[in-house]
Amino acid sequence: MPNKTGVFPAVILITGSGPQNRDEEILGHKPFLVIADYLTRNGIAVLRFDDRGTNESKGNFKGATSMDFSTDVEAELDFLLSRNEIDKNKIGLIGHSEGGMIAPMVAVRRKEVSFIVLLAGPGISGKRILLSQEALIGRVSGEREDVIRDMSSVNDAAYDLVAGSQNLDTLKKELTAYYSDRIRTDTTYAGTVGTGQAQFVAERVKQLATPWMKYFIRYDPAPTLEKVRCPVLALDGSKDLQVPPEIDLAAIKTALDKGGNKEVTTVELPNLNHLFQECKTGSPTEYATIEQTFSPLALDAMTKWIISKVR
């Protein structure tokens, strides 16, 4: 809460993928703590929460999908609506990464949401995001182009298996057989995997054969974005290798424009990575080595836009 008396506009912070605490703590950084501090100092109340089954929140994270997490955000919205110190006509959502996929879901279902901010929120399908980030991270890591193409081909077909699956047990068997066969018949791919091939296959199956991954790979944000009627700010970092800005921001704007939303702002912020840190290459290997937690440029752009919507 801002350090004064009054009735305040408010935002709910929605974390990215994986079990996150209320600070969205990752690799020694607490970006949501930084964001909350900055916004409250500018007169905006902030609600953070531990993801279900994480830290002090009850429930089961395993087996939940982005749609399930969106119902948790609705519970947070109901909580804010019950508070006398919150302006019920000025409640927004700020979602980072997967949270930027969840925010539009909630905004479409709940008219009480007066604005949303998407921080590296996906505008393209989960499958397309995964294939793009694998290629971009491989490239910045110095991988050969033929290897990148080969891995992309292998994973593309695997993601189709996940998307079309009806039963997780069957999917595990199919993925095990598929990756084992590709390692046996594709020398380039086998070389990238290395000698621990059985372990690699087991880890890939564990990563992909989950309800969350199935939902994410199949989900296309565009139809939901087309239904969003409240003001939207979409911020991406120019060196984000996980949600590539050059295709992501255009897709978000196209979907919102198609739906007739007239209050859309998309901004590509220079030299920022997926965590909105100032960086050199954008590689995830840099995240822990960068002292900065969240760029002042991103904080300022987001805060000024929110203030313009809640005046």
- Residue at 278: amino acid letter: E
Closest CA to 267 of 294, 299, 307, 228: 299
The answer as to whether 2 is a domain residue is no
pLDDT tens string 217-257: 999 999 999 999 999 999 999 999 999 999 999 999 999 99
Of 191, 217, 243, the residue that ends a domain is: 217
Can you give the three-state secondary structure of 168-192, one letter per residue? HHHHHHHHHHHHHHHHHHCHHHHHH
- Residue at 68: amino acid letter: D
268 bridge partner residues: 236
Of 217, 247, 273, the residue that ends a domain is: 217
Angle subtended by helix axes 145-164 and 211-218, to nearest 10: 110
For the domain that residue 109 is a member of, what is the CATH number? 3.40.50.1820
Q: Tell whether 203 and 230 lie within a shared domain.
A: no
Structure-token pair, residue 59:
């429930």
Q: How many domains does the chain have?
A: 2
| pLDDT band with cut points at 50, 70 and 90 for residue 1 | very high
pLDDT tens string 98-139: 999 999 999 999 999 999 999 999 999 999 999 999 999 999
pLDDT score recorded for residue 187: 75
Q: Tell whether 79 and 184 lie within a shared domain.
A: no
pLDDT score recorded for residue 2: 96
Residues of the domain holding 139:
126-217
- Residue at 50: amino acid letter: D
Is residue 108 within 8 Å of 227, Cβ to Cβ? yes
Closest CA to 252 of 277, 271, 233: 233
Q: Tell whether 180 and 302 lie within a shared domain.
A: no
The answer as to whether 1 is a domain residue is no
